[in-house]
Amino acid sequence: MTQQSSSNMASDLTLSNVTVGYDGQQVVAQTSFHLAAGEIGCLLGPSGCGKSTLLRAIAGFEPLMSGQIEVAGQVISTAEINVPPERRQIGMVFQDIALFPHLTVGENIAFGLTSWSKSQALERVDELLALVGLAGFQSRYPHSLSGGQQQRVALARAMAPKPKLLLLDEPFSGLDAKLREELVPDIRSILLHEEMSAILVTHDQMEAFAMADQVSVMSDGEIHQTGTCYEIYHRPATRFVASFIGHGDFLPATVCGPNCVHSDLGRIQGNLHHGFADQAEVDLLVRPDDILHDDDSEFVGVIVSKWFRGSHFLYRVSLASGKVVYCFASSHHDHSVGQAIGLTIHLDHLVMFNR
């Protein structure tokens, strides 16, 4: 069989009430999400929450206890059906890069192209090397490449046969922070260029934000929320998502109308209905970017700690009540711990949870 070199047809992925476990013990329970064709999804959560287990189930390495997985409308896993991994047309990239050390870069990338004609395989290798920024590296061996270059080759190898879906299991965690920051957006562009649907597993939210169109936030074997990066940060569906994503504090507050709340920050009028009853006692989520330093404001807080972040300062400030919150300030506003600074509140959509 010869393979056409036409562009990849991206596939969608649907998980419906998927439960997976080991030795009869559930590890991931009743998880559902849909990833549109050509999009990059992310499973984000703390260590041990079941991200890799779910990814391995999608790849076909773990059978389902119940539920269903579909790729491009075709059912590949249920409790009764388990299409073998090699017949799923799903590519994988792992944290431990695992290139074949005795094969050249070109041979590594061509490894899954045995059913392609030689000329098409060579063309595909050249195309991918150019795409991952390693044109001319065909004859090099893996040991002569940097970690970042090896990860690019691993990506090219996984993409070479044009899989329906690419699974990336913490592929950047072995790389240093600077390299990761450079590589992650590049890999996103490469996947978009190849129109390849992909799922990234990570516990690093900055990586998720830089890479994903859609993030599923997991804890203890459950997906708490699937949404865009903006949604999971600004509209967290659960307390766990609110605390796990970004910095933030919960302030005790009392509802004072359909889009109004009263707390230690005073009375705040939001711009969206929050859905809580009048006078309800709630916890209000306050992010660093909700409280800005403003020299002209009479509402003050006392700095209890500070971090210089280059473009800005992140302060922890104590309010009159003793509650401590984050405050965001431009990096020119270098104040000392113990100093009182003016604050303005920029909370327009109110995120609240029952107390």
Ligand X SMILES: Nc1ncnc2c1ncn2[C@@H]1O[C@H](COP(=O)(O)OP(=O)(O)OP(=O)(O)O)[C@@H](O)[C@H]1O
Is 152 among the residues that bind ligand X (CB under 6 A)? Answer: no
Does the protein bind ligand X through residue 224 (CB under 6 A)?
no
The pairing of strands 324-330 and 312-318 is antiparallel
Backbone angles phi, psi at 334, to 5 degrees: -95, 95
Which one of residues 2, 7, 22, 304 is an interface residue with ligand X (CB under 6 A)? 22
SS3 15: strand
* 47, 114, 139, 311: residue in contact with ligand X (rule CB under 6 A): 47
The pair of structure tokens assigned to 156 is 């090219």
Confirm or reject binding of residue 104 to ligand X (CB under 6 A).
no
For the chain, the C-alpha Rg in angstroms (whole number) is 24
Widest Cα–Cα separation across the chain: 75
20 vs 156, which CB is nearer to ligand X? Answer: 20
Q: Which two tokens stand for residue 123?
A: 């063309």
Rounded Cα distance between 244 and 199, Å, is 20
SS3 130: helix
How many chain residues interact with ligand X (CB under 6 A)? 11
Q: Which is nearer to ligand X, 54 or 183 (CB)?
A: 54
Judged by CB under 6 A, the residue of 18, 49, 184, 242 near ligand X is 49
Q: Does 157 bind ligand X (CB under 6 A)?
A: no
CB of 146 to ligand X, least distance (A): 24
Applying the rule CB under 6 A, the residues between 51 and 80 that interact with ligand X are: 51-53
Q: Which is nearer to ligand X, 44 or 187 (CB)?
A: 44
The piece of 46-54, 134-142, 275-283, 318-326 that touches ligand X (CB under 6 A) is 46-54
* Alpha-carbon span 14 to 77, nearest angstrom: 11
- Closest to ligand X by CB, 184 vs 317, is 184
SS3 content of the chain, % helix, strand, coil (to 5): 25, 35, 40
User: Restricting to residues 160-199, which ones interact with ligand X according to CB under 6 A?
Assistant: none
Minimum separation from the CB atom of position 313 to ligand X (A): 31
320's CB contacts (< 8 A; 6+ apart) are 264
CB of 175 to ligand X, least distance (A): 16
Q: 3-state class of 63 per DSSP? A: coil
Asked whether position 307 contacts ligand X by CB under 6 A, the answer is: no
Separation of alpha carbons 99 and 104, rounded Å: 9
Work out which of 10, 13, 15, 27 binds ligand X, going by CB under 6 A.
Answer: 27
H or E stretch including 227? strand 222-227
**96 in contact with ligand X (CB under 6 A):** no
Determine which residue in the list 2, 9, 48, 98 makes contact with ligand X, applying CB under 6 A: 48
Where along the sequence are the contacts to ligand X (CB under 6 A)? Answer: 22, 27, 45, 47-53, 203
